[in-house]
Amino acid sequence: MPTSTWRNLDQQRRERVLRAAMAEFGRHGYSGGSLNVIAREAGVAKGSLFQYFTDKREFFATVAQETSLRVRAEMAQWLAGPEPGQPFDDFLCDALSGWVRYFAKHPLERAVTAATHLERDPEVRAAVREGVYRVYLESLRPLLERAVARGDLRPDADLDALLSILLLVLPQLALAPFEPGLDPVFGLYGRQPDELRAVIRRLVTALLAGFIAR
């Protein structure tokens, strides 16, 4: 969707623009993000942005997609499923802890994730989330299906219900420890890693209670 000028752009320049855009859209979301600020931070004229993308929305969509690709690449290690002999709930705790740790270490990707999940404009949100959800579901559903086949989860488990709740919990865990006002029950904001792990264990226990094979 971006112009050929963007695709052929000098690597360093493209990375500067991308990082500035992730930071600005991450801070203020799509509609609140300022192209003036992005151009200034990237050390680039505003007019250049309109030679790379036809308009602001395409620019944001590109930034969001690029970000989701980076996240998926980094989480690939967990998508294989539990190691042989590892209980499924232990595995899920590990994976979610890794998930939280990733976003702790990558504030830029976390901010863009927040912007993606907190977008108000229905069209923008639908367009941007579509790609993100496809990436998650393509990985998560097979993971759960393999768990059923292996006997880790009950054969009659309602995987859609579990997936549905997981898709709510994942962004919550990615954001709540680092942004205020998201979790009034556990108060995840600003918690230490070991405290987060304890909460994750409680959530996983509650979540999987009806799914783990006995």
Partner DNA sequence: GCCGAATATGACCGGGTGGTCACAGCGTAC
Partner DNA sequence: GTACGCTGTGACCACCCGGTCATATTCGGC
State which H helix or E strand residue 187 sits in.
none
130 touches its own copies (CB under 8 A): yes
Cα–Cα distance, 118 to 191 (Å, whole number): 22
**Any idea what the Cα angle at residue 137 is, between residues 59 and 153, rounded to 5°?**
160
Q: Please, which residue, 98 or 210, has the CB nearer to its own copies?
A: 210
Closest approach, Cβ 8 to its own copies, in A, equals 31
Give the one entry of DNA, its own copies, none that residue 47 binds, where binding means its C-beta sits below a cut-off of 5 to 8 angstroms depending on kind. Answer: DNA
Q: Could you tell me the CA-to-CA distances from 29 to 83, 99, 112, 116 in Å, in that order?
A: 38, 22, 8, 8
Nearest 5°: phi and psi at 189? Answer: -60, 120
46 touches DNA (CB under 7 A): yes
Closest approach, Cβ 16 to its own copies, in A, equals 24
Closest approach, Cβ 10 to its own copies, in A, equals 32
Tokens 């590892």: give the residue: 86
Q: Please, which residue, 1 or 45, has the CB nearer to DNA?
A: 45
- Give the residue from 46, 57, 42, 69 showing the smallest Cα distance to 2: 57
Q: Please, which residue, 9 or 196, has the CB nearer to DNA?
A: 9
Give the footprint of DNA on this chain (CB under 7 A). Answer: 4-5, 8-10, 13, 33-37, 44-48, 50-52, 55-57
